[in-house]
Amino acid sequence: MTTTSHSSDSVTPTLHLHASFPSASLLRRAAAWLYDALVAIAIVMVAAGVALGATAVATKFGWLTLASGQDHAQWLDDSYWYPLYLVTVLAIFFGWFWHRSGQTLGMRAWRLKVQQRDGSLLTKKQTLIRLLTCAFGLGSLWLLVDRKHRRAWQDYAAGTELVTLSKEANQYYYWREL
């Protein structure tokens, strides 16, 4: 006689698997941060090109008038919205990866994954909280204080954790295959 178990363990075995990985060290986080910084620089360069192109088009059609002797780049530098635009582009980049798969490109290269404490992917609210509290990576310095749990300030604020994956587990791209 066979019985079918409907316990929470049989319904969500992957959550327990994902929750069993060790917390990421500060050194591994820093390496992923450096890798992601290179990608972020490239994204900022593309976003700057788009902004320059948009100001050139706006000038061409008469929607924007530059001061005498002012070029498009100077107009962008003088505007208050341009830095906000660049930060928003970066927030969308990191937030999309954190919410969609739990891994940015640098995190994937260093086998790191941000997840909820039960191993599931971040909610949109958790992603937003992490973005607002990470202080461009400086929140990870909290690991120097919290050596027992090895959670960064943004992890405590959002109820998340950053774990080091096994090589096999890192092969699953969006964690939907498990």
Name the residue ranges covered by the structural domains of the chain. Answer: 20-171
Task: Quote the pLDDT of residue 176.
Answer: 52
Q: DSSP 3-state assignment of 113?
A: strand
- Residue range 95-136, pLDDT digits in tens: 999 999 999 999 999 999 999 989 899 999 999 999 999 887
Looking at every residue in the chain, the average pLDDT score rounds to 85
Q: Where are the alpha helices (DSSP H) in the chain?
A: 8-11, 13-19, 26-60, 72-78, 81-100, 105-109, 124-133, 153-158
Considering only CA atoms, which of 4, 5, 21 is closest in space to residue 161?
A: 21
pLDDT tier at 149 (50, 70, 90 boundaries)?
A: confident
Q: Is the pLDDT of residue 61 over 80?
A: yes
Q: Is the pLDDT of residue 8 over 70?
A: no
Task: Quote the pLDDT of residue 18.
Answer: 55
pLDDT tier at 4 (50, 70, 90 boundaries)?
A: very low
> Taking the C-alpha atoms of 125, 43, 136 and 36 in order, what is their torsion angle to the nearest 10 degrees?
100
